[in-house]
Amino acid sequence: MNRTFITFTLLEQLYGIDSQNIIEVIPLPEVIPIGKSPDFIEGFINLRGALILVINMREAIGLEKIPLSINNSIINVDINGLPIGFVVDSVKDVVSVSEGQIAKPSKKWKGIDIRYIYGIVKREPYSITILDTESIFTEKEKEIIIASSKKITQKKNTADLPSYKDRETLKKRADEFSKLTAEPEAAGENMSAVMFRVGNEDYAVDVKYILQTQKLKYIAKVPSTPEFIAGVMNLGGTITPVIDMRLFIGVKRDVRRENPVLIMDINKNRIGAVVDEIKDVVNIPLNDVRPPLESISEDKRKYIYGETIINERVVVILKAEELFSQSRLAVA
């Protein structure tokens, strides 16, 4: 059985966290600091009415700490029921690997604190260090984290930011996140999904179908195929059909080489989908998902799981197995 990880960078090195523990990914907003707290605690953010503790991932695992910037992201992770936002340099891709591909750290690494390293995944030309988020903190640090949640101050954390323009950007983000209405916690299951944009619309696909994401590279055109088939690409020795999602859903534009590609596994068939932008990995409460609008034609409704609202935008959740079925794509 494969596991899906969200990858991110720290000091230009690649790390990963299990997507099942991730609530959502957001750009860094302005942070509210806490007095007399450890260096790894940056403070709190107001996210839809909920106060989320923000921790600098670099500092937490012993790497060099640098001032925050508008280029940072926050990965909101559930750790034993406590939401914690980890500041990372940048969020990269979604990757899917089998447990057998994860090399566990050697017990011979004496004198090195590796309690938070779950394993290493080699994906040429780089390696991904998989982190165990529940093991990053010692028991004493966990006590400090819980106690820190009671020390909120309204002083703004702007001293380390590089410019007035950047401070204003972070303030604007913080205002947007805090103004969103906090929803009561939904009972029932959640869906981890990759959200992406095609044209002016936002879509999402269950993360269990995602193998990885990458920039569009060379693709070979294939004659006598539907117009929405952009071509095929060689992905690790496997010839993979690539779909232009814009043409697939009726947005007329040419594929650009810099576009991102979602690499999916649909019923053991590998498929690439070119999109305009990969936005976030989100955790969607299924109780918040409503059926497709009645105005949508029946032939399109059967490919839509439902719709939800994320950051005040409608997101259409697609039924990947139906939408990307081999019979519909007419590719071998």
Could you report the per-residue pLDDT of 238-260, keeping only the tens digit for each?
788 888 888 877 776 655 667 88
In Å, how far are 47, 58, 127, 135, 171 from 30, measured between CA atoms?
11, 18, 32, 27, 5
DSSP 65: P
pLDDT at 108: 59
Q: What is the pLDDT of residue 14?
A: 92
What is the residue extent of each domain of the chain? 2-168, 190-328
Kindly report the pTM of this predicted structure. Answer: 0.63
Mean pLDDT of 194-223: 85
Helix then strand then coil, % of the chain, to nearest 5 = 20, 45, 40
Residue 163 has pLDDT above 70, yes or no: no
CATH 3.40.190.10 fits 2-168, yes or no: no
Predicted local distance difference test score (pLDDT) of residue 154: 42
Instruction: Please state which CATH class domain 190-328 belongs to.
Output: mainly beta
Q: What is the dihedral of CA 205, 209, 212, 215, to 10 degrees?
A: -50
For the ranges 235-244, 256-265, 280-289, the maximum mean pLDDT occurs at 280-289
DSSP state of 162: S
> Residue 241: is the preceding peptide bond cis (ω within 30°)?
no
E strand or H helix at 96: strand 90-98
Q: 143-154, pLDDT tens digit by residue?
A: 888 777 655 544
**Does residue 16 have a pLDDT over 90?**
yes
